[in-house]
């Protein structure tokens, strides 16, 4: 694979935030860069904005002054599309409308030579359709940068149905030469990140709609127990509710209204009301100056039980808990098999304490949510069935507080918060891998770098045990019939292979 040589010209069409960021990346990599925008004067304004960004890099010690001056000399705005003649690569970052992109690339074909590589930065439109009207569609590839392009390392290199493998290889090598981490993916709705990430938002919104917990508590649980850098409510307020909802709706429609990708009515109402997040001053949260941030539900300190009884073995995600409980000075008495397929703890009052299994809490039962790492997590959520006594809830709360955790007691909802989110992330990642959207390694890389997940979802599936994920989702599908939680065929197949290996 040969990257485009640094002395060759890279052109960017679209002088908005993303276009400016891509231009900066190409400039810092040593290319002459031309910047064009259909709005008169905007390319010149964007050139000044990029120059100011370079100044800030110098001030922070990330770029030498001489390199900045040389980069400024290589950056040139152009007023007409014809000014892009001679480019080795043209990347568009214009409005997300198929007709606009198709018209642009059709006009570009009359300007650049046949060796010029064409790239679309689309995040939601099919690369195949963008290239459809071209005389030579094989030279068009998707180069999906993430915002802000100079900072985020991931680039999805998307091959459309007609994309020439040589063009995809050249685009991949160029992104790597620019210091990015490229991943290859097929031209399917949402590519990798926007396809696999949908449950992170959708499940949180559904828990809110079911009134099991408020936004601040859901965010806190996903951060403190799931290990995510931001909760979905604060993240979509940052992204923009209109932007996030549009991507969700686009993926939903592209998958022919699959229940796996059903949008949130609650989020739609926010968009309709103009409550778009930080940019409008209010979204899920109030971002006005001086506004108080709501606090998550956090239980008051409770006394830990002196001992618990362990029936059978806890499922793999929670297998470390008995040892942690004993290390905290609480006795653990081990007896016969657990209830059903998975083990459980019994509190002194008689209630079962179990890892959520995708079902509503049965009586008398208290469920605890999944954690990325029960040793290191700082928060755990509990949900009790109506038959569980307040004393049992207090005992369960005290038990996890004795392990150094904050506890959020939420209303009983199947799958709770973290478990249902992670199980669906694993399922969609397995489905993407099984359908050849991207390699397993690239899927995990994309999710770690593109949306800053603490684990790649396939890696998380291995740690949790895909058989546990399959059974959990089957239980969720029983609670919520309709296909949203039905385990995908690739997940079922992977779980079956593991089970057969264990039996052999």
Enumerate the active-site residues.
Answer: 123, 144, 156, 194
d(CA 443, CA 458): 8
With beta carbons less than 8 A apart as the criterion, state whether 214 and 284 touch: no
d(CA 307, CA 425): 35
Phi and psi angles of residue 167, each rounded to the nearest 5 degrees, phi first: -65, -45
Which of these, 238, 190, 244, 220, lies nearest to 381 by C-alpha position? 220
Beta-ladder partners of 185:
158
Q: Give the number of other CB atoms < 10 A from CB of residue 291.
A: 11
Instruction: Tell me how far CA of residue 169 lies from CA of 157, 165, 363, 371, 402, in angstroms.
Output: 9, 6, 58, 39, 54
Strands 344-346 and 331-335: unpaired
d(CA 504, CA 489): 22
Residues 302-315, buried b or exposed e (16+ Cβ, 10 A)?
A: bebbeebbbbbebb
d(CA 199, CA 474): 16
Q: Give the number of other CB atoms < 10 A from CB of residue 327.
A: 11
Residue ranges of E strands in 340-490: 344-346, 352-355, 365-368, 379-384, 406-410
Which of these, 123, 149, 141, lies nearest to 18 by C-alpha position? 149
- Token duo for residue 283: 């979204």
């Amino acid at each position: 694979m040969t990257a485009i040589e640094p002395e060759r010209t890279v052109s960017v069409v679209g002088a908005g935030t993303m276009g400016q960021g891509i231009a900066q990346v190409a400039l810092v990599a040593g290319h002459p860069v031309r910047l064009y925008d259909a709005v008169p004067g905007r390319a010149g304004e964007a050139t000044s904005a990029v120059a100011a960004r370079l100044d800030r890099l110098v001030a922070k010690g990330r770029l030498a002054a001489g390199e900045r001056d040389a980069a400024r000399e290589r950056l040139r705005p152009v007023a007409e599309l014809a000014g892009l003649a001679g480019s080795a690569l043209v990347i568009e970052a214009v409005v997300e409308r198929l007709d606009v992109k198709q018209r642009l690339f059709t006009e570009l074909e009359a300007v650049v030579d046949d060796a010029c590589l064409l790239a679309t930065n689309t995040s939601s439109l099919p690369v195949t359709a963008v290239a459809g009207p071209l005389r030579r569609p094989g030279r068009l590839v998707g180069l999906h940068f993430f915002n802000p392009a100079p900072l985020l390392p991931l680039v999805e290199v998307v091959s459309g149905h007609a994309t020439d493998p040589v063009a995809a290889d050249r685009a991949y090598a160029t992104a790597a030469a620019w210091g990015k981490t490229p991943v290859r993916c097929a031209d399917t709705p949402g590519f990798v990140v926007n396809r696999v990430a949908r449950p992170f938002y959708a499940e949180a919104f559904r828990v809110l709609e079911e009134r099991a917990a408020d936004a601040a508590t859901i965010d806190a649980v996903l951060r403190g127990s799931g290990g995510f850098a931001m909760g979905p409510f604060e993240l979509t307020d940052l992204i923009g509710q209109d932007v996030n909802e549009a991507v969700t709706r686009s993926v939903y429609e592209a998958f022919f209204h699959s229940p796996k990708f059903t949008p949130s009515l609650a989020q739609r109402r926010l968009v309709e009301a103009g409550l778009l997040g930080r940019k409008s001053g209010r979204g899920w949260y109030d971002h006005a100056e001086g506004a108080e941030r709501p606090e998550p539900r956090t239980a008051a300190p409770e006394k830990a039980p002196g001992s618990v009884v362990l029936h059978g073995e806890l499922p793999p995600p929670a297998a470390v808990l008995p040892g942690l409980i004993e290390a905290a000075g609480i006795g653990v008495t081990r007896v016969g098999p657990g209830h059903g397929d998975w083990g459980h703890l019994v509190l002194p009052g008689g209630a079962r304490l179990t890892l959520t299994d995708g079902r509503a809490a049965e009586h008398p039962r208290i469920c605890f949510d999944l954690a990325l790492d029960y040793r290191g997590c700082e928060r755990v959520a509990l949900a009790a069935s109506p038959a569980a006594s307040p004393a049992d809830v207090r005992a369960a709360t005290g038990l996890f507080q004795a392990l150094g955790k904050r506890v959020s007691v939420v209303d009983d909802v199947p799958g709770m918060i973290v478990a249902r989110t992670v199980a669906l992330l694993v399922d969609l990642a397995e489905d993407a891998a099984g359908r050849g959207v991207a390699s397993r390694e690239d899927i995990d890389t994309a999710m770690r770098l593109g949306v800053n997940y603490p684990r790649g979802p396939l890696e998380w599936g291995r740690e949790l045990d895909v058989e546990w994920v399959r059974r959990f989702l089957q239980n969720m599908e029983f609670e919520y019939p309709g296909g949203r939680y039905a385990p995908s065929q690739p997940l079922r197949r992977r779980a079956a292979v593991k089970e057969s290996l264990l039996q052999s």
